[in-house]
Amino acid sequence: MQGLSVTGLSAAYRKSKVLDEVNFKLPKGSLTGIVGPNGAGKSTLLKVMLELHPKLGGTVHFAGKPLKTMRKKIGYVPQRGSVDWDFPTDALDVVMMGLYGNVGWMKSPKARHREQAMAALEQMGMADYARRQISQLSGGQQQRVFLARALVQDAELYFMDEPLAGVDAATEQAIMTTLRELKGRSKTVMVVHHDLQTVEDYFDHVLLLNRTVMNYGETADVFTKDNVYRTYGAGLRWRQEVPS
Amino acid sequence: MTLLLSPNAWWVLLSMLVLGVASGMIGCLAYWKRQSLMSDALSHAALPGVVIAFAITGVKILPVLILGAAISALIGAFLVQWVVSSSRIKEDTAMGIVLSVFFGLGIMLLTIVNRTGGGNVSGLDGFIFGQAASMVRTDVYTMSALGLVVISIVWLGFKEWKLFLFDPAFAKGLGLSVRLMNSLYSGVLVLVIVIGIQAVGVILMSALLIIPAVSARYWTHSFKWMLIGAAVIGGGSGVIGTVISTMGKGWPTGPFIVVSSAAFFVVSLLFGAQKGLVIVRLQQRSRIKSEVSVPAEREKMVVKEGGY
């Protein structure tokens, strides 16, 4: 069963190319870590696939269909730093945003939408903070709110940009439990990841990226010392972070 | 005070209330788009359009002047974008250039039209500092109708505005057209500016957009209540400033509106219920006290929240 297929995808910022001929295929129900050095285009890859950033060329198919018809089946978790957490709103309200597509444009959310949002917060262990100002949440709590917002979308495919960056251990566990649970329900999940040490524990598939796909496939086959070195080039100095 | 008693003055007040409410709400959008200065650039950029519209048509009818102002302001907005995208000049610098050049051009044209057009043009001076008292009944209708359009656009799309301002990337992922929202935002911003400049003036119009929004921020942690608060403060400043300016003959409206909104701002800054200096100081004091008296309780809280 096809989860995701990307063919010849290229993109640029201003005039410099950041993604060059990206090709890969991932099966439905896979949990994939996107790994690569800084500036490899990991975040850009997600944005270009979801047409949040213009592409130069290439095609993307979600469960065999183009983005247009799949938009409602796709959940996106942007980087936590991409929004202003000083914005006047609370955790529950942010999670409700994930339901705006279902609520309908220019209509008000109903009680059942609020219940759905509460359930998602509960799943992320954030029920007690539903009415908390988002500026008063810790970084990990903010990340959980973002995860909860993606969960209420009840999507088929999830794309998450560094959900584990700068979060506390408890949040990391909560997020990983959720990701595995999504995988268990045959959702296709792609996660931009920065910590090489946890790749093998967390992901069944891996996409090594440095402006183009260096390698992809099942973690056990692809996440090898040679491949990782090749992806990171001279930038990799920490022996202990490279799998043996 | 005699002016206040005339029925026309009541109509003027009503339209200033609508204008204040509309600009307070649009100010909230501009505040979270981090574009407060943009409103200042656009209002200054409107002046040449007003003068040119008058010079071409020879009439001083508000809809015509508003149209000229809108075109001129949009050209200003376009120029800011163009300078930023085609050079290394930063947005605030670009806005500074556009603001001063357009205003200078407007004053220059005004002088020329004044020389050649005779006493007929005296009313145009009012566009610099604003002259609410000089508005006639049809001006009031035009202003109120357009103001109500702006208010309903913000109110009907409240949920969409919130999503668009907080997280545009996520909004786009949900299928909300960010390009449409951006155009709509520029549209309502220009609209509220051009309907306001006759009454408030191009120099101080931005105060009616910026100050109510930033004042309302001190009172609430909810975007809805920030909009309502800014509407109340904007409407209040509009009405109070207008009442004072109508007390003397030829008193400009803009400065009085700015001073009254500044009074709202000072009160909000000090006594605002959420972020006001007094409440923040009180919270700090009680926090220190509780930390001294019940350290264990405090620690429990930190652990529960997963640490700081």
- Residue B6's pLDDT band (cuts 50, 70, 90): confident
Looking at CA atoms only, how far is residue A244 from chain B in angstroms? 34
- Domain spans of chain B, in order of start: 2-207
The sign of the CA dihedral B251, B252, B255, B260 is positive
Residue B106: exposure state from Cβ atoms within 10 A (0-12, 13-18, ≥19)? buried
Hey, what are B174's tokens? 């949900």
For domain B2-207, the CATH architecture is Orthogonal Bundle (1.10)
B64-115 pLDDT, tens per residue?
A: 999 999 999 999 999 999 999 898 899 889 999 999 999 999 999 998 888 8
Distance (Å) from the C-alpha of residue B301 to the closest C-alpha of chain A?
A: 13
**A2-82+155-241 CATH fold:** Rossmann fold (3.40.50)
B-chain CB neighbours of A94 within 8 Å are 166
Q: How high is the ipTM of this complex?
A: 0.90
pLDDT digits (tens, 9 = 90+) for A104-145: 888 899 999 999 999 999 999 999 999 999 999 999 999 999
- pLDDT(B195) > 90: yes
**pLDDT for B183 beyond 60:** yes
Residues of chain A positioned with their CB less than 8 A from the CB of B162: 89, 93, 97
In the predicted structure, residue B17 carries a pLDDT above the cut 60: yes
Residue A235 CB: number of other CB atoms within 10 A?
13
**Nearest Cα to A147, choosing from A176, A170, A169?**
A176
Phi, psi of B59 (to 5 degrees): -115, 155
Mutate one of B174, B180, B215, B283 to test the A interface: name it (highest A CB count within 10 A): B174
The 10s digit of each residue's pLDDT in A58-75 is 999 999 999 999 988 999
- Share of residues in chain B with pLDDT > 70 (%): 90
Task: Specify the amino acid at residue A110.
Answer: K
Sites in chain A below the pLDDT cut of 50: 239-240, 244
Shortest Cα distance from A234 to chain B (angstroms)?
33
Q: Does A110 touch chain B (CB under 8 A)?
A: no
CA distance B25 to chain A (A): 15
Return the CA Rg of chain A: 18
Name B224's Cβ contacts closer than 8 Å, sequence gap at least 6. Answer: B158
Contact A83/B166, CB-based, under 8 Å?
A: yes
Q: Which of B35, B84, B159, B303 to mutate to test the interface with A (most CBs of A within 10 A)?
A: B159
